[in-house]
Amino acid sequence: MTVSVPLRLSVPRRLRPSVRTRRDAPAARRPDLRRFVFAVLAVGAVFQAIMQTVMVPLLPSMPGFTGAGPTAVSWLVTATLLVGAVMTPIFGRLADMIGKKRMLLVAFGLMTVGSLICASTSNIGLLIFARGLQGAGAAVLPIGMAILREVLPRERVDRSVAILSSTLGIGTAVGIPFAAAIVQFADWHLLFWVTAAIGAGVAVAAWFVIPESDSRSGGRFDVVGAAGLSAALICLLVPITQGSSWGWTSPAVLSMSVSAVILFGIWGVQQLRNRNPLVDLRVAARRSVLTPHLSALLVGFAFYGNTLITTQLLQAPRGEGAGYGLTILQAAACQLAASVAMMIFAIVASRITERFGPKVTIMVGALFLLAGYGIHAVPDKPLWLVVGAIFVAAIGTSLVYCTLPVLILGAVPLEQNAAANGVNVLLRTVGSTVCSAVVAAVLAAHAFAGGVSTAGFVIAYLVCAGCAVVVFASAFALPSRHARRPRPATV
């Protein structure tokens, strides 16, 4: 009987082939790029903030550059605000559903394409279309905050989100002097060639650095809700932005305003009945969410007033009215004080919140806003005091802006992060749009042949101070301590 015995050969360990799966091989060589996530998101957020304000110094010169009238040229700003307001909650919801990285890249891509079109044409129609594409970048901020909550360790989330939120003010304050310098010393198209290059670089960096999202809500996208919200926002914001030129009592303004009220009512009912709403109104109605949304609306108003009113005051000619007679570049340089304040106090805001809670941070920020606008309202003050008022008001803006997303992230479920912060950013935009209309109406009511009276600027600043008072009062409804959040998913 033959017995077969298997023959085993002993092979030295150093001669054995290493067995590595296809999946493990790239991972072993792939560097960990997560430490660059915050840097990429911060640059992207500053980039989108610059896109929102970069046209402001150009507006007086655009009729000559394009051959279009002042009304058509005004849509170069209006289109960006409208598209940003409409797309921010939509992109936020899609990011929660299908992936945050994917929607972030779409937003960067649209901004870059918009810059390329602006850089290569002077046709007013194409420019308005391109500026609309750039408005989609408003979704970068809420999506970026949601990404940070997933990627970073819990102890770093609040501070990183706070600093990222402050980039809105930093980009706004940097964008105006950046645009003014290029307009004064070079062809205006160069401005958009530069922003196109920045957008392409940020998109490529995000592709390699930002990880794919593990947290996705899934479900069906609420197309009806998105269409209803878009129609309601357009009917609300177009009359606000065009009321001064169309006439506040014109049939177009009145009919669109009434339509906005009706559409928002219908949209609200539809959202409450929908199992997969675009905006979860039941969550939004919670005190811990509703109060930050109200603060975002009011601080958006006050923040834009610090830039808009002061820029007009600084550039107004010296004479019978108020004004300092500065050039576009000189006035823009004064706004750099806001950038400095927001960069410094973004970190201070997170430390105050960690030590005393978000309620205290919001209240302190509202007091700084009130103090800044109190200084602004002093007539015939020296220029250095104007810059000081810009700095103080920007401190208040930074403290509030940096705390709002932290409150939202702590109050909503993980799968609603981007959508909830999208609504918060939307309300900031609405506040800024309303501020533009109110300031234009106030200054126009106090204008005369030689400029604008001092009383006009004082009243405009006092309106912003009133917003700060409401923010301070509403902060009493906030929780004293930070809500605990579930641990972010590891990537």
* DSSP letter, residue 17: P
Query: Of the candidates 346, 39, 328, 333, which has an alpha carbon nearest to the alpha carbon of residue 169?
Result: 346
Under 8 Å between Cβ of 172 and 342? no
CB contact set of 388 (below 8 Å; sequence gap of 6+): 337, 375
Where in the chain are the domains? 31-221+278-477, 222-277
Write out the two tokens for 108. Answer: 């960067």
CB 373 within 8 A of CB 393: yes
pLDDT tens sequence for the chain (491 residues): 444 444 444 444 444 444 444 344 443 444 556 678 888 888 888 888 888 777 877 777 788 888 888 778 878 888 888 888 888 888 888 888 888 889 999 999 999 999 999 999 989 999 999 999 998 888 888 888 888 888 877 777 777 887 787 776 667 667 777 777 777 777 888 889 988 999 999 999 999 888 877 666 666 788 888 899 889 988 988 888 788 778 888 998 999 999 999 999 999 999 888 888 888 888 888 888 888 888 888 888 888 888 888 888 888 888 767 788 888 778 878 888 887 888 788 888 888 888 888 889 999 999 999 999 999 999 889 999 999 999 999 999 889 888 888 788 777 776 676 777 778 878 888 888 888 788 888 888 888 776 788 888 999 999 999 999 999 998 888 776 554 444 444 43
Calpha distance 253→241 (Å, rounded): 10
| pLDDT recorded at residue 32 | 58
Q: pLDDT tens-digit profile of 50-66?
A: 887 778 777 777 888 88
Pair of tokens at residue 355: 């030590």
pTM exceeds 0.85 for this model: no
CATH superfamily of 31-221+278-477: MFS general substrate transporter like domains (1.20.1250.20)
How many angstroms separate the Cα of 419 from the Cα of each of 143, 225, 409? 8, 13, 11
**Per-residue three-class SS string for 267-291:** HHHHHHHCCCCCCCHHHHCCHHHHH
Residue 223 corresponds to which amino acid?
V
**Three-class SS state of 215:** coil
Q: Are the CB atoms for 43 and 202 separated by under 8 Å?
A: yes
- Do residues 354 and 158 make contact, with C-beta atoms less than 8 angstroms apart? yes
The whole-angstrom separation of Cα 237 and Cα 132 is 14
92-119 core/surface letters (b: 16 or more CB in 10 A; e: else): bbbbbbebbbebbbbbbbbbbbbbbbbb
Query: How many CB atoms within 10 Å of residue 273?
Result: 8
Contact 176, 332 (CB under 8 A): yes
Residue-level pLDDT at 73: 83
Amino acid, res. 361: T
CA 86/CA 251 separation, integer angstroms = 24
- Residue 233 to residue 430: CA distance in whole angstroms: 9
Angle, nearest 10°, between helix axes 358-376 and 383-411?
A: 160
7: amino acid identity, one letter: L
State residue 4's pLDDT score: 45
Residue with tokens 């609420």: 222
